[in-house]
Amino acid sequence: MKPLLRSSRLDQVGMTASIACAIHCAALPFLITTLPLWGLSFLAHSWVEVSMICLSLFIGTWSLARSYPKHKKTVPVLVLIIGFVLIGCGHYLITDLEAVLIPLGGFTIAAAHLINWRYTRSCTHQ
Residue 7 has pLDDT above 70, yes or no: no
- What predicted TM-score, i.e. pTM, was given to this entire model? 0.70
Residue 15 has pLDDT above 80, yes or no: no
Q: Which of residues 8 and 89 earns the better pLDDT score?
A: 89
| ∠ Cα 62 45 111 (to 5°) | 35
Give me the pLDDT at residue 49, please. Answer: 77
Give me the pLDDT at residue 4, please. Answer: 44
pLDDT tens digit string along 21-36? 777 667 666 666 665 6
Which stretch of 17-21, 55-59, 65-69, 122-126 has the lowest confidence by average pLDDT? Answer: 122-126
- Domain definitions of the chain by residue range: 7-122
**Burial (0-12, 13-18, 19+ Cβ within 10 Å), 119:** buried
CA distance readout (Å), 54 to 1, 9, 22, 38, 120: 30, 18, 14, 26, 24
Q: Which of residues 66 and 12 earns the better pLDDT score?
A: 66
pLDDT tens digit string along 57-113? 888 898 889 888 888 899 999 999 999 999 999 988 998 998 889 889 988 988 998
